[in-house]
A and B are shown apart, each in its own frame.
Chain A
Amino acid sequence: MTNEDLLIYFDEQLFLPDLLAKTKDDLFEEIVDQFVKVKYLKSREIVLEMLRQREKLGSTGVGKNVAIPHGRTTSASDIMIAFAKSKNGIEYDAIDGKPVNLIFMIIAPPQDENNMYLPLLGKMVEVLNKSKNRNKLMQAETFDEFMEILSKG
């Protein structure tokens, strides 16, 4: 998967550069509410439950101030990624114990065409492993700037 391939999974309506949430659970609710608002998800509660269960398995706070909450849900129609940023950072129980500033929430339906969910998760991990990408994403204020960073990442 190339960086260009990645771009089709983002939507300006799922770009949240200034999260209000102060806790992990509030963060999930704020992002999922946006998914529901733009009609990518049918049921808020089912998806929140899925995300909370995923955290029971192990934290999706992957370290270096990044979290990638993710999961498949029957309540989703398409595979989509929301990007959110918290300027102050949110306690997330991340693997390195650091608060999280950059959040990529990946939601996929049970059967996504071409089975892109796992390659997409892998690609996001690869992009976010680079410190220059993380630094630039922290500065991104607009969707266009964000997409530009990802396309070059």
Chain B
Amino acid sequence: MSLWKYFRKGKILEKKQLDLLVALQDLDMMIEEISEMKRLGFSADREDELLKAREDLAAKIKKPLLYSYEKLKKRYKRAIVPVKEDNTCLGCFIRLPTSMSSIGRTDEEVIYCEGCGRILYWLT
């Protein structure tokens, strides 16, 4: 069994879970850049509001998935990486199997890159 099939096994999740993970990563990127926003002169004083929003969002994500996200984030900074039209993982730049992309494009499963292990998000 290839590694990516191993990762797929038992990981069929509703589309919303992947959307929630992506929204969580977007929030994390925003939180990381708060000081830069302030330096540029933007209003960014209500950090506690964002932290609360993150907590609420994280509570909606299934625990094993959230754990996996946090672990990948710690290792790579970005747990979810986009996949472009040519089926390349933008985390490690390996070409992904076509069979993987046809499932990945539906957003109905959380699929991990067989090269770097990050969560894949197809942009097209």
- Taking Cβ atoms with an 8 Å cutoff, the residues of A that contact B are 39, 42-43, 45-46, 49-50, 53-54, 56-60, 62, 68, 71-75, 77, 95, 109-111, 118, 121-122, 125
Interface mask (B107-124 → A, CB under 8 Å = 1, otherwise 0): 000000000000001111
Does B3 have its Cβ within 8 Å of any Cβ on chain A?
Answer: no
Q: How far is the CA of A73 from the CA of B123 in the complex (A)?
A: 11
| A77 & B123 in contact (Cβ 8 Å cutoff) | yes
- For this complex, 26 residue pairs linking A to B, each with C-beta atoms less than 8 Å apart, are A43-B19, A43-B22, A46-B26, A53-B27, A53-B30, A53-B50, A57-B37, A57-B45, A57-B46, A57-B49, A57-B50, A60-B42, A68-B42, A71-B30, A73-B22, A73-B26, A74-B26, A74-B121, A75-B22, A75-B26, A110-B25, A110-B78, A118-B40, A122-B40, A125-B40, A125-B42
Number of inter-chain CB pairs below 8 Å = 92
| B23 & A49 in contact (Cβ 8 Å cutoff) | yes
Does B34 have its Cβ within 8 Å of any Cβ on chain A?
Answer: yes
| B22 & A109 in contact (Cβ 8 Å cutoff) | no
DSSP class of B's interface residues: helix, strand, loop or mixed?
mixed
Chain A residues, CB < 8 A from B46? 56-58
Partner of A110 from B42, B47, B82 at Cβ < 8 Å = B82
